[in-house]
Amino acid sequence: AQTVTQSQPEMSVQEAETVTLSCTYDTSESNYYLFWYKQPPSRQMILVIRQEAYKQQNATENRFSVNFQKAAKSFSLKISDSQLGDTAMYFCAFIDNNNDMRFGAGTRLTVKP
Amino acid sequence: ETGVTQSPTHLIKTRGQQVTLRCSSQSGHNTVSWYQQALGQGPQFIFQYYREEENGRGNFPPRFSGLQFPNYSSELNVNALELDDSALYLCASSLETSGRDTQYFGPGTRLTVL
């Protein structure tokens, strides 16, 4: 069964600095998709970035980038120039062709002024 | 473009009752997935509906059931509510059923079972 592990329950970073959130997953499939979602307090889940497993190039969205290591089954999220609005729960998620999206337990990120 | 909406926002029920939660998918999306998010945890997949048919189910008992309508809106029904059903229920819509299609989430319905 596919599992997603986020080993950092909480992290904090100073405004304008860089932080990396870790995620590992387990699957026997070769074709799948990985996502990072952000869930601000009491607000809805928002897609931050996505990565197709068949693409070797790491995805980038403005200040957000990933380090996708397929062999190691690792998918970390780097947030550059952290902003106060980045404070949220961050969930790593995995989906293959079974339509069953699996989420990690989340990392609570606090950006400090 | 209208995003995913859910109703009601909050709901309080007692053990043994039944509840119906509603979700309107984003314009043009024909696939709706439902998730249960217990406090302090990541969402867990309940089931997915694609063009009015169930298209995958997670590890939830049969008292969790759903419907999808011709306009692709969806309902989640939970019978015989238990205390552990207290959670945030999220629905997400996507353009198609393939894993490559990003799921867009609604704001959720917070269900409290007393």
Given a cut of 80, is residue A113 above it in pLDDT?
A: yes
Stated as kind and residue range, the H or E segment containing B60 is none
- Which percentage of chain B shows pLDDT scores above 70? 96
Question: How much is the pLDDT for A98?
Answer: 73
Rounded-to-integer distance, Cα B51 and Cα A84, Å: 40
Question: How much is the pLDDT for B24?
Answer: 96
Tens of pLDDT along B11-45?
999 999 999 999 999 988 999 999 999 998 999 99
Question: How much is the pLDDT for A107?
Answer: 97
Given a cut of 70, is residue A25 above it in pLDDT?
A: yes
Question: How much is the pLDDT for A44?
Answer: 87
Rounded-to-integer distance, Cα A36 and Cα A47, Å: 6
Does the beta-carbon distance from B100 to A4 stay under 8 Å?
no
Nearest CA in chain A to B98: A97
Q: For residues A83 and A111, is the Cβ–Cβ distance under 8 A?
A: yes
- Which percentage of chain B shows pLDDT scores above 90? 82
Question: In Å, how far are A86, A98, A104, B76 from B89, measured between CA atoms?
Answer: 23, 21, 17, 9
User: Where would I find the H helices in A1-113?
Assistant: none
- Which pLDDT band holds residue A26 (cuts at 50, 70, 90)? very high
Tens of pLDDT along B39-72?
989 999 999 999 899 988 999 999 999 999 999 9
Question: How much is the pLDDT for B75?
Answer: 97
Question: How much is the pLDDT for A1?
Answer: 61
Rounded-to-integer distance, Cα A73 and Cα B29, Å: 31
Given a cut of 70, is residue B1 above it in pLDDT?
A: no
Nearest CA in chain B to A54: B100
Identify from B24, B91, B103, B104 which residue to disrupt to test chain A contact, counting A C-beta atoms within 10 A and taking the largest count: B103
Read off φ and ψ for residue B7, nearest 5 degrees: -145, 150
